[in-house]
Amino acid sequence: MNYGDDFQRLSKYNREKLGGRSLDWNRKPDQYKTYPPELEKFELEKPDRTGGDPLYSLLQQRRSERNFKETTISKRKLSQVLWAAQGITLSTDYHQFRTAPSAGGLFPIETYCVINNVKDLNPGVYHYQVPIHALVLLKEGSFGLDLARAALGQKMLRDASFNLVWSAMIDRSKWKYEQRAYRYIYLDAGHIAQNTALAAVSCGLGSCQVGAFFDHEIDEIIGVDGENEFAIYMSAVGEPR
Ligand SMILES: Cc1cc2nc3c(=O)[nH]c(=O)nc-3n(C[C@H](O)[C@H](O)[C@H](O)COP(=O)(O)O)c2cc1C
């Protein structure tokens, strides 16, 4: 069974099939994921939106880092990397835009943060609340080793100061793009991960992007159902050894 080949073939746009569809605005999925208000929230420092190393120097320095020192990094650096990944850069009356492009401006990707070693934040699984630039604690505890096991035993996820896990809420994109949405979520995630990698370098950190993992196990760690929302990509971030 060549699912990948079928996917590529069946999700192609062609002139005969495209057109004539109208969007049902009453059924547009919510832009943001929310959790019950009783879950603990942690505000993050306002990110620096103007400084940092010049772009070309960051591009030159970026490398996949897989060996991390087990040092505690500051919450400020975490804040900076999260904002670079998915922070808001423009708010209009109708829409909020982010650091990374997204097909149709639908932003189907959610960011979870598995914290191992960050000052003033206990280890645990958190969700990044984009509109308020804050983290919501989903479950407290050390999940680095679980994450590493779920990623085919890649130890860097245990040693990293924090890991970002990106999931797709597929209906947000399907609402407009139907099956083509499956192409776009991966493109969106790629943009987000590159922003993460460059911001990490700018903070004196390193990162490695991770696509090899047992999907169900990662879904379970971040608490998503694997159907409407499923993990698609991760980044381990820490101080290079
Ligand atoms: C989609 C994708 C998935 C990847 N998955 C992994 C992974 O699971 N484990 C890993 O060690 N590196 C992973 N990498 C990192 C690549 O191995 C790395 O980017 C490549 O060797 C080039 O090296 P560089 O990133 O240092 O330029 C992944 C990279 C991409 C873009």
135 within domain boundaries: yes
Q: What is the pLDDT of residue 15?
A: 86
| Three-class SS state of 104 | helix
Res 9: pLDDT: 93
Residue to mutate, 60, 63, 64, ligand 1, most ligand atoms under 8 Å from C-beta: 64
**Has residue 184 been placed in a domain?**
yes
**What pLDDT is recorded for position 17?**
75
> What pLDDT does 104 receive?
96
Contact 208 CB / ligand 1 (< 6 Å): yes
pLDDT tens track for 78-111: 999 999 999 999 999 989 999 999 999 999 999 9
Ligand 1 midpoint to CA 165 (Å): 15
Q: Work out how many domains the chain is built from and give that number.
A: 1
Task: Tell me the residue range of the domain where 82 lies.
Answer: 38-238
Which pTM does this prediction carry?
0.97
Given the structure tokens 């680095």, which residue do they identify? 144
CA of 167 to the centre of ligand 1 (A): 18
Spatial distance between the Cα atoms of 219 and 18, rounded to a whole number of angstroms = 33
pLDDT beneath 50, residues of the chain:
none
Identify whether 13 is part of a domain: no
Per-residue pLDDT of 43-65, as tens digits, reads: 999 999 999 999 999 999 999 99
Spell out the residues 6+ positions from residue 103 whose beta carbon is closer than 8 angstroms to its own. 173, 177, 181, 184, 187, 188
Please tell me the predicted confidence (pLDDT) of residue 21. 76
* pLDDT at res. 16: 81
63 lines ligand 1 (CB under 6 A): yes
In this structure, which residue's CA is closest to atom 30 in ligand 1? 209
Look up residue 74 and give its DSSP letter. Answer: P
State the CATH number of the domain containing residue 87. 3.40.109.10
